[in-house]
Chain A
């Protein structure tokens, strides 16, 4: 595709529900990142994949957050038992291996009621 795509663009969940957010990176991009952006703040790193390997998950806020990229392409960020503090925009980015420029998707705005 032309760029990074994310779905859904908007998600409203009731507290306690599980959600799954999808990221389709640019074809051929080896590196994939997830970031969380709270309202009025800059994005904060959650986790990083190189192909299918999750090399860093130090930014995941709790064990309710889980990310996977089983075939080294599409990635899913799953949040279990959502809480109100999980409300944020979740951004996905991809980059070519050894390239420093990251290409961001439009994000998924998650609202937990």
Chain B
């Protein structure tokens, strides 16, 4: 079963605008990861944030993590048409191996 929910389910914006996606999860985690999936393609790893971190940046991406609320957000700044994809959060628990539990995904459409 899915770990949690992503919000919104779908997001449509114009190029240059910022896109914010939220993820909520249910259990204690070791880390949380964000992935991108283009239509018909595999998943591409974007960024990983550990449970003891609160914010992380990578290029135009900014991820926050609030373990007290069991939530995370992904911000894409200055969006481009090429950012159009589905975005998934995935959590890894504190068990000995790194099985990922994915959210339901946000479908982002960036229009030129």
Contacts and interface: CB of A to CB of B under 8 A. Distances in A.
Contacts of A4: 42
Contacts, number: 63
Query: Which has the most chain B C-beta neighbours within 10 Å: A35, A42, A48?
Result: A42
Interface stretch (B55-63, B66-74, B77-85, B92-100): B92-100
Given A31-B97, A100-B92, A44 B43 contact: no
Interface stretch (A12-20, A63-71, A80-88, A101-109): A101-109
B98 A55 contact: no
Interface residues of B, number: 25
A100 B99 contact: no
A106 B105 contact: no
B31 interface: yes
Given A100-B33, A100-B48, A101-B48, A45 B101 contact: yes
Interface residues of A, number: 26
Nearest to B88: A42
Contact of A104 (B2, B44, B105): B44
Query: Which has the most chain A C-beta neighbours within 10 Å: B1, B45, B98?
Result: B98
A43 B41 contact: no
B31 A91 contact: no
Given A100-B48, A101-B45, A106-B41, A43 B31 contact: no
A108 B33 CA distance: 23
Contact of A102 (B30, B98, B104, B105): B98
B100 A33 contact: yes
B104 A42 contact: yes
In the complex, the 5 A-B pairs of residues with the closest C-beta atoms, listed nearest first: A42-B102, A104-B42, A104-B43, A106-B42, A43-B102
Interface of A: 4, 31, 33, 35, 41-45, 48, 50, 55-56, 91, 93, 95, 99-107, 109
